A and B are shown apart, each in its own frame.
Chain A
Amino acid sequence: MKILAFAEQRDNAFRKSAFETVTAGRKLAGESGAELVALVIGGKVSPIAESLGSYGAARVLVVEEAKLQRYSTTAYAKVVAEVAAKEKADILLLPATAMGKDLAPRVAVKLEAGLAADCTALAWVDGNVEATRPVYAGKALLDVRIGTPRKVFTLRPNVFTAEKAGDSKAAVEQCAISLGDADYSVQVKEVAQSSGRLDVAEADIVVSGGRGLKGPENFKMIEELAGVLGAAVGASRAVVDAGWRPHDEQVGQTGKTVSPSLYIAVGISGAIQHLAGMSSSKYIVAINKDKDAPIFGVADYGIVGDAFEVVPALTQEVKKLLGK
């Protein structure tokens, strides 16, 4: 049996999710006795490929072409599916990132495979993979098993922690997949990065603000706290709808589902739709004036107080701790 782990890179550097996916693959390989192979696709990715060895991939396949420097849904999907077929991989692991979520459904169709999306746990049980995936934005969990011979799983970022298994270098093999112009029918022309802004779905710490902040200008104190923590800024839908914050910061059932190690909710009441998106965070801190706010029902630590007083003090205290 063989597991193929897709190691995501952008601009010839691995994303954190690459190490998470390979680590998850190594653990599943350990439980099942399967072989683990990693796959890297890009423009110039050979130099980084061997580093996946330390996460447990003995072999890394590289599909490299100048045109693959920029992401293309159609070309990448073809490469993943053809490599999986060539390698006779039984289990495919991709990250549930913007790229992985874009690829996995197409790859599943090409391989006639069932797909379990956005999994938060994988286990080897009675000769098959059992996956856990949150549904209803985390209000419930499903335990699922894929019945097709080939199986595709996407793994939620930040849940499967990346762990090194040693410092061995992987054997890197070039793998040729022939791609014609038609395979690039969808292609990224330009990536507009919001300068230096961390994404809520990827960040290890998220500081979110809600209507309790009274106005968009007061998010400055949220940004300052996020800055010293190296955190991403999140928001409730109320403040996104009010135009105080951009859509991509919204946390919740119709925003992003996040699972950081620390989630700090400031001036957020904790509506059911908000809780759905963040209650799987490892630690939750709530700062709210109202002691009866539902957010306290899921918070590990709470301060019933005025955000305008507590947040600046918290920023100072964290600075002290981190020696900044």
Chain B
Amino acid sequence: MKIVVCVNHVPDTETKVKVGSDGVSIDKTGVNFIMNPYDEFGVEEALRVKQKHGGEVTAVSLGGDTHKETLRKALAMGVDKAVLLKDDSPRDSLSVAKALADYLKGISPDVLFFGKQSIDSDNGAVGSMVAELLGMPSVNVVVKLEIEGTTVKAEREIEGGHEKVETRLPVVITAQKGLNEPRYPSLKGIMAAKSKPIEEITPTPASLHVEVLAMRKPPAKSAGKILGTDASAVAELVRLLHEEAKVL
């Protein structure tokens, strides 16, 4: 089975966002970058599919040299190969998807994993776009996956419940928290990852479909009223919610 997982390299969740001097992206000074958390579920599931069905797992990332850190983490977790589509020009989700799809066309994966969304741009789009570009079925926001022969059964999260979806290989799956518990790279894995090669490829150039006019901070929420220190404050709280906020 040919298994591919696409991984993104993003600012960690502790990041206090500051607008950069270009006015359209964040100030990266002092920001720590990590493998996109949802992509960890993708890597883990890719490894589990390999364990069950055999085959090879390749991790692919599109971005500048810094993305190698995330590819190294994927290698340390146990993927067999890592590929960097090296390009750090700004891209929207469609231009990321086109570059990934162009590369993946030549590989024809049986199972292609993504995270449900990047926690920086919060688009949640690249996985489905690649599926559409490659003419593959896709199941998004997956919390349970079973592959039997060429039949794929997946459960995806929807509002207030789950959809049980059936499709067939080759398939695109975008991973949601709950799909699995990602493994920690072992010391041996980390050491081995250091010496594994990362293949570098020049992707198709970016053409932008979406223009960012400005990045700004949301209006700051200021601390409100402390109404009291015990249950005696409850009556006042309910009154305010009813009369002032008008939400009750």
* A317 located at the interface, meaning its Cβ lies under 8 Å from any Cβ of chain B in the complex: yes
The contact of A136 among B119, B213, B227, B231, by CB within 8 Å, is B119
6 tightest Cβ-Cβ pairs between the two chains A and B: A114-B209, A105-B128, A98-B158, A313-B231, A300-B224, A193-B161
B161 to A106, Cβ gap below 8 A? no
Interface residues of B, Cβ cutoff 8 Å to A: 11, 13-17, 19, 24, 26, 37-38, 92-94, 97, 119-129, 131-133, 137-141, 143, 155-168, 176-178, 208-218, 221, 223-231, 233-235, 237-238, 240-242, 245, 247-248
Chain A residues whose C-beta falls within 8 Å of the C-beta of B124 in the assembled complex: 101, 105, 117-118
Q: Per-position contact with B for A119-154: 1 when CB-CB < 8 Å, else 0?
A: 000000000001001111111111111111000000
A146 to B224, Cβ gap below 8 A? no
Within A276-303, the residues touching B (CB, 8 Å) are 276, 279-280, 282-285, 291, 296-303
A318 to B224, Cβ gap below 8 A? no
The contact of A186 among B13, B138, B224, by CB within 8 Å, is B138
> Given A282-B247, A310-B231, are A143 and B213 neighbors across the interface (CB < 8 Å)?
yes
Q: How far is the CA of A114 from the CA of B161 in the complex (A)?
A: 30
> Given A283-B241, A285-B237, are A191 and B158 neighbors across the interface (CB < 8 Å)?
yes
Main DSSP-derived SS at the B contact region: mixed
Chain A residues whose C-beta falls within 8 Å of the C-beta of B178 in the assembled complex: 247-248
CB pairs A–B below 8 angstroms (29 shown): A97-B158, A99-B158, A105-B132, A108-B129, A109-B133, A113-B209, A115-B92, A117-B123, A134-B122, A135-B120, A136-B15, A136-B17, A140-B216, A143-B214, A147-B211, A185-B168, A197-B160, A261-B247, A262-B241, A262-B245, A262-B247, A300-B224, A301-B240, A302-B226, A309-B231, A310-B231, A313-B231, A317-B234, A317-B237
* A66 located at the interface, meaning its Cβ lies under 8 Å from any Cβ of chain B in the complex: no
Q: Per-position contact with B for A262-283: 1 when CB-CB < 8 Å, else 0?
A: 1000000000110010011011
Q: How far is the CA of A191 from the CA of B158 in the complex (A)?
A: 9
Please, how many residues of chain A have a CB less than 8 angstroms from a CB on the other chain? 95
Chain A residues whose C-beta falls within 8 Å of the C-beta of B247 in the assembled complex: 205, 261-262, 282-283
Distance in Å: Cβ of B215 to nearest Cβ of chain A? 5
A280 to B218, Cβ gap below 8 A? yes
Chain B residues whose C-beta falls within 8 Å of the C-beta of A205 in the assembled complex: 247
The contact of A191 among B38, B120, B143, B164, by CB within 8 Å, is B164
Q: How far is the CA of A196 from the CA of B157 in the complex (A)?
A: 16
Beta-carbon nearest neighbor of B223 in chain A: A297
A273 to B241, Cβ gap below 8 A? no
Q: How far is the CA of A284 from the CA of B224 in the complex (A)?
A: 9
Q: How far is the CA of A282 from the CA of B242 in the complex (A)?
A: 14
Chain A residues whose C-beta falls within 8 Å of the C-beta of B177 in the assembled complex: 247, 250, 254-255
Q: Per-position contact with B for A235-270: 1 when CB-CB < 8 Å, else 0?
A: 000000000000110100111010001100000000
Beta-carbon nearest neighbor of B121 in chain A: A135
Q: How far is the CA of A106 from the CA of B139 in the complex (A)?
A: 12
Chain A residues whose C-beta falls within 8 Å of the C-beta of B97 in the assembled complex: 105, 109
In the complex, besides A298-B221, A303-B229, 5 extra interface pairs with C-beta distance below 8 angstroms are A98-B141, A99-B158, A141-B215, A186-B165, A309-B230
* A13 located at the interface, meaning its Cβ lies under 8 Å from any Cβ of chain B in the complex: no
* A220 located at the interface, meaning its Cβ lies under 8 Å from any Cβ of chain B in the complex: no
Q: How far is the CA of A108 from the CA of B123 in the complex (A)?
A: 13
